[in-house]
Each structure stands twice: as structure tokens, then as C-alpha cells.
A = this chain, B = another copy of it.
Amino acid sequence: MTSLPSGLLGDLDPTSDRAVFRQIADQLREAIDRGRFTEGAKLPSEAELVEHYGVSRMTVRNSFSVLQGEGLVHAEHGKGVFVRPRPPVRRLASDRFARRHREQGKSAFIVEADAAGSHPQVDSLEVKEEKASQDISTRLGSVRRVLARRRRYLLDGKPVEFAASYLPLDIARGTAIAEPNPGPGGIYARLEELGHRLDHFEEEIRARMPAPAEVKTLRLASGVPVIHLIRTAYDTEGRAVEVCDTVMAADAYVLSYQLPAT
């Protein structure tokens, strides 16, 4: 084992009342912030830090877990601990549901990803009728059963978003909306063809840490929150015609909205 380049990391302050593992985490964080370790770079191994600081291995691991919780680094079994690279973000503009975007052929996700030069993919398609949850039922105006469309979106092989759409059966049953592929322009285009002219959307945004199932389907690194977006589509008669519940890897998205000052 070779020792650490001197000057890269400092020493501990034994007089400080800050816990040793926090001091180590602080030094590593600062080194990352200063660019001593760039994106994707490998941090010193546990053994190297144990030797450098003269502490036990659990203490070093504790430091790493602090940084992992902050989403700064991630560990790879058998390889090392690395500065977490920031994935390219998808920007969702507030006009993304404008009618003119629907009037062309392909799905918004595909078009946009192609334009950005990345490889889009949609999988885990599931379309079925089911009982509406309490929340969905309320949002759709007390419907009991709904058509549920679930799918997962990937960019360059990385899952970035998991979405579930819910529609009242009297609208969706037996239409193209109930097909795995609803056709050009997506379900919003189909809804308008069916006479449900869309008026506006309402979006609710929360952020939180993912549940274990979400970690799995989105293959999330530790320290990455999710953005939880619930969109309700209203037609010109004020009826809620669809609710879309999506969970997004927070490190892959920037949402953007325009608000009138009126």
C-alpha cells in the first residue's frame, strides 16, 4: 500500500469537539469542492485513510457514509469510493404540454431525448383496469375504478422516471388509450380526439427520499432524492380527465415553469 500524496488531506484536530469522522468527512468534502477530486475520481481507499489519519476503519467508513448521505460520493464494491458524477439533466419546460407539441408524431420524451443526443427508452409498460386509490379517486372526482397506465423512462440505459397515469373508465375503456401504444401525440392527443378538449394542467411537486422500491426501479444511488410530481389534466368543462403520478430521479431533472405576473 502506498501512502497518500502529502498535502492532499490535512490532519485531525484532537482539541476540536467535532467528531473525528466528521472532521474526515469535512476534509474530503472540501477537497472535492476545491476540485482536488473531480467527477468520477476515486477517493483514497479506506485502508489509506486509516493509515493517514491513524483511526480505525469503522471511523473512516463512517465518514464515507456521511458523504454518501449528502449524495457527494458513492461506493463500488471491490473498486473504491468515487465522486458521484452529475448525470445530464432533463429540463422540463412549462410549455411541454402545449397543443402544438402534441400535433406532431412521436412522444415528447422520445423527441426531446433524440434532440439532446441521448438514447431514450420506455419499458415496464403496464396497462390495466384497477381500483382507484383514495387519493386518485378524489382527484378524478370520486371514481371507483380507473384505467392505469404505468411505464418507466430511461435515458442511455439509466432509469430516470417512473410514471403512472390514471383515467376514468368511462373515458378510456375501449379506446386507443387502453392500448399499450396509444399512438402519435400520446394519450392527450387521444383525449382531445375523443372530444375532451384539454383546458389546463395542475401540477403538484414534492421532494423526498425514495422508498426502497423506488431505489430499485430507478436504480438510485444513495443520497439521491426523488421529485414526486402529480399532474391533473382538466378539460374545458372543468372535469379532471387524467391524473399522472410520476416519480423522478432528482439528479436527472430540472423543472421549469412560467408564471404570469397578473
Contacts and interface: CB of A to CB of B under 8 A. Distances in A.
B255 A222 contact: no
Interface stretch (A154-162, A167-175, A194-202): A194-202
A203 B256 CA distance: 5
Interface residues of A, number: 47
B69 A201 contact: no
A14 interface: no
A55 interface: no
A260 interface: yes
A256 B205 contact: yes
A250 B94 contact: no
Nearest to A248: B207
B209 A223 contact: yes
A225 interface: yes
Interface string A71-108: 10000000000000000000000110111000000000
23 contacts: A26-B212, A29-B212, A69-B222, A70-B209, A70-B212, A94-B257, A98-B261, A98-B262, A99-B261, A200-B259, A200-B261, A202-B256, A203-B256, A205-B205, A205-B227, A205-B255, A205-B257, A206-B250, A207-B227, A208-B225, A209-B223, A209-B224, A257-B257
Interface of A: 26, 29, 58, 65, 69-71, 94-95, 97-99, 188, 198-212, 222-227, 233, 250-251, 253-262
